[in-house]
Amino acid sequence: MPRRHRFGIPALLITGLYVGALAVTAVIALTTGDLGALWRLTLFTGVAQGVAVTWPNTLILVVAGLPCAWALWQSLRGPLTGPAPELDRDTRRLRMGLYAAAASWACYALAPTWPWWAVALDAALMWVVVVLFQPVLGSRLEHADHARAAGVVAYGGAAAIEVIDVLNWPLPDWLPVICGLAGLIWMVLVLRAQRRSGRWQQATVRYGVAALVAPVLLTVVSLPLATDTNVYGDVASAAQVLMVIWLARSAHDLADPSAEPVPSASSPVGAEPPPAQ
């Protein structure tokens, strides 16, 4: 399976190293009574105060790290092997934007805490993805103008919220709600367009749907079980890596050798799609 993808072997090695690190930090947590390394490796933050080092808590943190391992494999393996199709300018730009947005999540893993600038950078790159998606999806994106407006409000607003917060300016209570709803609208419309297009695999679309649904479901399930001494209230954030998988796979699929080239919305009317290389 690794050889089916352009970077399958390196991706498998890196994923294996991460899984090995999960096992080592789990043993360290149980033998030393310190969850710090395991917590950092799975949730990318400092350990919460008062959480007990128990078998259930350790096991749940290890399970929370498995989506991260899967995201590494899905993201780093690249497109399928084979002759790369010739892509138009809009598609090349979208691929770059998707990869940049997916890569920005590494800031959360590398920074000691989740800094405001990392959240703002992530939102800004997603704003770019919003703008770049529309010309590639073309007529398949229903209510295209409304979709782009919703995406711009969602991610532009999210970046603005982080800046306003760090400056200690008053923040309207309704602004995060509006941004969240706008982001949901944009994502739903884009996923519908992807499903109708022949350029993306259905598995990629399902990852996008999961990125919307899983965090909500995990939060609803975990919050009633959460206490100061367990990790149930914290591990729901692990589902956010599904968004990384969707971004990376969306970029991979555009360079799938088996995909038929589809002209973007900016292509001249009546122009033939470029032949695959």
For position 183, what pLDDT does the model report?
95
48, pLDDT greater than 90:
no
Average pLDDT over the chain, rounded to an integer: 86
Residue 80 — φ and ψ, nearest 5°?
A: -65, 150
Residue 146 — φ and ψ, nearest 5°?
A: -65, -40
pLDDT-based confidence at residue 259 (cuts at 50, 70, 90): low
Sequence-ordered list of residues with C-beta below 8 angstroms from that of 51, at least 6 positions apart, any chain: 35, 57, 228, 229, 230, 231
Tokens of 160: 């603005």
Average pLDDT for 39-50: 85
Average pLDDT for 29-47: 89
70-128 pLDDT per residue, tens:
999 999 999 988 887 888 999 999 999 999 999 998 887 787 677 888 889 999 999 99
Of 245 and 57, the structure prediction assigns the larger pLDDT to 245
pLDDT-based confidence at residue 16 (cuts at 50, 70, 90): very high
Of 72 and 235, the structure prediction assigns the larger pLDDT to 72
pLDDT-based confidence at residue 267 (cuts at 50, 70, 90): very low
CB of 64 within 8 A of CB of 235? yes
Angle at 158 (CA atoms; ends 154, 163), nearest 5 degrees: 150
22-35 pLDDT per residue, tens:
999 999 999 999 99
261, pLDDT greater than 60:
no
pLDDT-based confidence at residue 129 (cuts at 50, 70, 90): very high
For position 51, what pLDDT does the model report?
83
The pTM (predicted TM-score) of the whole model is 0.87
Of 92 and 139, the structure prediction assigns the larger pLDDT to 92
Give the rounded percent of residues in the chain with a pLDDT score beyond 90. 56
236, pLDDT greater than 80:
no
For position 274, what pLDDT does the model report?
40
60, pLDDT greater than 70:
yes
Alpha-carbon dihedral angle through residues 90, 190, 110, 58, given to the nearest 10 degrees: -150
Give the rounded percent of residues in the chain with a pLDDT score beyond 70. 89
201-231 pLDDT per residue, tens:
999 999 999 999 998 888 888 777 767 666 7
For position 268, what pLDDT does the model report?
45
